[in-house]
């Protein structure tokens, strides 16, 4: 059996210890939204656990949104859910929880029939929840009245538009403008599951072919630069795009001409490889975004050119992330490819030598924040995920925007996401 098998597990947590203290479970069928929005909702769940002095999270309740399966289609399917442990390393999470304390980061525990009698292990939801209602989607039904008296485990989530988790996060960030210990712990705790971690490291550690080494002194520069353009058509029409450079050709040009990324005296790039955090499938134009057809077509052409010919006049090879890359991996179910692609993109960006994101993108904000946390941890001489590439005086977090490129500042820590 592989990591993507959703088989039954023992009734102790993965560290082999007994469950101690109360447990909180996610009420929603799954965490909703794209990868970063799901992380915001996960943070909201953790904050609720802290407020209620709950020290455990029920692992079986934590599932990520599978975009390939819509609500109720096909009937009685997996509800479009991906098990947390198919994507992330549970043992690592719990080791971070032990180090920070469960009051900072709750421990992940497995279902126990004696400790969690309110949970239905056959449907991975509360016994009091009508599975048909859950199947129709967490946004359409407020499930809270059905389980508000449950204590084994406790529950949180649902609400109008599935808004309880979202509102909990926004209220938390509204009162906490600075990075908290919980956010630091969460940034450390989320590590890809072993097969995905290997895919990330294969990309991060790969070396460009000799003919693409760009240094005239043959120093074989293989430092990785990750770029998050965020120029898909759905973003081009979004209100957040006002904070972004929307033309991909312009973004590439600004980066190539910046002294942050080029040695202008020798007209050479400072990085030997580039990786694009982008979703090719979402670059396709639909009638919904017909108003940005001209720009969307230009951006797709720029993506095709960079993928084929590279950047800096072909001296820096470009690897394209996204669904194509995820589909090339072994044993990734077809209905998980989009979510797996987002996670691989994210952690490649976290591990790169330098990252260029954009304000207005919650995804970029999360990458910058995670890199900042790991950089601080590295400076404290504590082992971190990866090969210890943060050796500079700054985590090398950069942004691109309508007025050019620059460093994020504040030690690489961005302000909270707003749009």
Q: What is the pLDDT along the chain (419 residues), one digit of tens a residue?
A: 233 333 334 334 444 456 789 999 999 988 988 888 899 999 999 999 999 999 999 999 999 987 655 444 444 445 678 999 999 999 999 999 999 999 999 999 999 999 999 999 998 899 998 877 776 666 778 888 889 899 999 999 999 888 999 999 988 887 777 889 999 999 999 999 998 999 999 999 876 554 444 443 334 568 999 999 988 776 666 666 677 788 899 999 999 999 999 987 666 899 999 999 988 877 776 666 667 787 888 888 999 999 999 999 999 999 998 888 888 887 788 778 888 888 999 999 999 999 999 988 888 999 999 999 998 877 664 444 443 444 455 789 999 988 899 999 888 888 776 66
In a domain, 18, yes or no: no
**pLDDT value at residue 136:** 66
pTM of the model: 0.85
The answer as to whether 28 is a domain residue is: yes
Q: How would you label 210-231 residue by residue, b for 16+ Cβ within 10 Å and e otherwise? A: eebbbeeeeeebeebbbbbbbb
Provide the domain count of the chain. Answer: 2
* Residues 267 and 309 both lie in one domain: yes
User: Does one domain contain both 158 and 262?
Assistant: no
Instruction: Indicate if 334 and 382 belong to the same structural domain.
Output: yes
Q: Give the per-residue pLDDT at 250.
A: 93
Q: Are 231 and 303 in a shared domain?
A: yes
CA 290: distance to chain centroid?
Answer: 29
Distance set, CA 45 to CA 15, 41, 169, 401 (Å): 22, 6, 8, 32
**Is residue 419 in a domain?**
no
- 281/393 same-domain check: yes
Q: Are residues 181 and 260 in the same domain?
A: no
Q: Which residues are within 8 A (CB) of 280 and not within 5 positions of it... i.e. 6 or more apart? A: 303, 320, 322, 323, 324
15 falls within a domain: no
Does residue 417 lie within any of the structural domains?
no
Tokens representing 41? 């909702």
For residue 13, what pLDDT is reported? 46
For residues 88 and 198, membership in a common domain is answered with: no
* Confidence at residue 226, expressed as pLDDT on a 0 to 100 scale: 97
Q: Quickly list DSSP for 187-254.
A: HHH--B-HHHHHHHHHHHH----GGG---TT------EEEE-----HHHHTSGGGGGS---HHHHHHH
Q: In this predicted structure, what is the pLDDT of residue 120?
A: 94
Q: Are 203 and 361 in contact (CB under 8 A)?
A: no
- In 10-106 the beta strands, taken as DSSP E runs, fall at 23-26, 56-58, 63-65, 81-83
End-of-domain residue from the set 153, 170, 189: 189
408 plus 330 within the same structural domain:
yes
Is 355 found in the same domain as 308?
yes
Domain limit, last residue, from 143, 163, 189: 189
The answer as to whether 85 is a domain residue is yes
The CA-atom distances, in angstroms, between 290 and each of 245, 268, 284 are: 19, 39, 11
Question: Residues 261, 378: one domain?
Answer: yes
- Which stretch of DSSP H or E encloses residue 95? helix 90-100
Question: Both 303 and 277 in a single domain?
Answer: yes
Residue 26 pairs in a beta bridge with: 156
Q: Which domain holds residue 267?
A: 194-412
- Give 259's contacts (C-beta < 8 A, 6+ positions apart): none
Give the total residue count for the chain.
419
- The predicted pLDDT at position 197 comes to 92
- Domain assignment of residue 156, yes or no: yes
Backbone angles phi, psi at 105, to 5 degrees: -135, 110
**Given 189, 222, 250, which residue is the final one in a domain?**
189
Same domain, yes or no: 89 and 211: no
Return d(Cα 358, Cα 277) in angstroms, integer: 12
The token pair at 307 is 């993928």
Three-state SS sequence of 298-348? HHHHHHHHHHHHCECCCCECEEECCHHHHHCCCCCCHHHHHHHHHHHHHHH
Q: Does residue 243 lie within any of the structural domains?
A: yes
């Amino acid at each position: 059996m592989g990591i993507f098998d959703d088989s039954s597990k023992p009734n102790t947590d993965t560290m082999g210890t007994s469950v101690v203290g109360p447990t909180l479970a996610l009420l929603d069928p799954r965490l909703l939204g794209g990868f970063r929005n799901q992380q915001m909702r996960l943070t909201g769940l953790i904050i609720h656990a802290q407020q209620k002095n709950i020290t455990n999270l029920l692992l079986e309740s934590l599932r990520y949104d599978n975009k390939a399966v819509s609500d109720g289609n096909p009937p009685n399917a997996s509800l479009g859910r991906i098990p947390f442990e198919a994507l992330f390393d549970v043992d690592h999470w719990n080791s971070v929880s032990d180090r920070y304390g469960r009051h900072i980061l709750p421990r992940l525990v497995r279902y126990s029939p004696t400790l969690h009698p309110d949970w239905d292990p056959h449907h991975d939801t509360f016994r009091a929840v009508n599975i048909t209602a859950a199947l129709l989607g967490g946004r359409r039904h407020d499930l809270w009245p059905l389980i508000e008296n449950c204590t084994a485990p406790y529950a949180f989530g649902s609400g109008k538009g599935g808004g309880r988790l979202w509102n909990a996060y926004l209220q938390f960030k509204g009162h906490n403008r600075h990075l908290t210990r919980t956010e630091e712990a969460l940034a450390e705790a989320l590590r890809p599951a072993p097969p995905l971690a290997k895919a990330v490291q294969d990309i991060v550690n790969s070396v460009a072919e000799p003919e693409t080494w760009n240094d005239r002194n043959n120093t074989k520069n293989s430092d990785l630069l990750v770029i998050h353009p965020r120029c898909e058509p759905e973003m081009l029409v979004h209100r957040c795009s006002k904070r972004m450079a929307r033309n991909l050709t312009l973004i590439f040009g600004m980066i190539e001409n910046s002294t942050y990324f080029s040695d202008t005296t020798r007209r050479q790039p400072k990085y030997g490889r580039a990786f694009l955090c982008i979703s090719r499938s979402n670059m396709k134009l639909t009638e919904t975004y017909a108003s940005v057809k001209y720009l969307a077509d230009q951006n797709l052409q720029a993506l095709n050119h960079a993928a084929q010919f590279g950047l800096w006049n072909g001296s820096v090879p470009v690897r394209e992330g996204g669904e194509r890359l995820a589909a090339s991996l072994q044993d990734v179910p077809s209905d998980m490819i989009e979510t797996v692609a987002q996670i691989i993109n994210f952690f490649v960006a976290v591990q790169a030598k330098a990252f260029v994101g954009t304000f207005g993108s919650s995804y970029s904000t999360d990458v910058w924040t995670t890199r900042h946390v790991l950089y601080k941890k590295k400076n404290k001489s504590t082992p971190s995920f990866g090969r210890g590439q943060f050796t500079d005086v700054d985590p090398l977090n950069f942004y691109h925007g309508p007025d050019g490129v620059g460093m994020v500042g504040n030690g690489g820590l961005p302000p909270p996401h707003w749009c």
